[in-house]
Structure 1
């Protein structure tokens, strides 16, 4: 199964809403809802809830049900069964750190857009052969950072990336200035100590700073 134009356009529309996608890990639904409201109030309305904890799906569903004005995706999708679980919980898109053949097949067949992960040129080429024009670049820092993605503009002009891993307010603009970067992912906007202290004002302020980053060129579908 290949990536369809309709779902690619839906993914492009989602990514065009924000320069930064918060990558969030929650141990309970209540914290997920409060954090999501704080991020939304700061201008970040596309959220990725990672499937790394026993309560991740519960938190995702609670955010979908209780927080207006946000688009919520499921991250750290590693297995085909994760795809089904995320869809049932209300995920509007799926994100994976890698792109195994089984996962590509399951993700591309899902009813919502799928953003598979790559860290090499060969992986990006394999996705392009399946019709994908968007990929997560992970782990961005260790895998080559902004210079690596800049080097891919010429040979892979149709591919656009969402770099994640090692990105913060200090270097996010380096990525966003590249014409093959649709958005960046990062956890710095919801630091664990702020969540533990329930310091939602701090989360909102960090979100405001992130949402104010310089707009990048619109990524084509």
Structure 2
């Protein structure tokens, strides 16, 4: 009787140990599966590709890989993509102001596209923008749009043409709030923008 009881207890202990070990293995597999969904930069695959901004909203999106085109809509908003990778185009459909900010650490393998219905504007119009310290390929065919390059060591590609500080003829003077001739003033930003005035297409470049 004692032998039977001892064998029964031993069997129960073995079953308990096996269950614990199996639980640990399951948890380990779950952890490995979770980490395998992220790349070495801590990014995971995005499932959302459209972002609608409210006026004066500032939104930060981080650590995502976008394998499809991304569309941003809504006027007077700001969206910042931190540590993201874009394998399609980014499309800014805003008519006014909305900034798409692409800081260091974010990779854009596609184009930065403007799609709006506005053409007539002027220098003071709050144009939608792409902002980055890195070279962007901006496409702005039959509408307004602008790019802000926050590093004068890099270039900006705008509608297939490459621009740098070597092409700049004007400098924005913050004290007078006017454009003055560029004569080698220290600049940290390159601006390239496009609009129409009285039916005439304007392409403006300046340093700041």
Instruction: Tell me which interval the TM-score lies in, with the shorter structure as reference length.
Output: under 0.3
Larger Rg belongs to: 2
Which structure has more strand as a fraction of its residues?
A: 2
Q: What is the TM-score normalised by the length of structure 1? A: 0.24
Structure number with the bigger relative contact order (C-alpha 8 A, sep ≥ 6) is 1
Structure 2 length-normalised TM: 0.25
Whose helix fraction is larger, Structure 1's or Structure 2's?
1
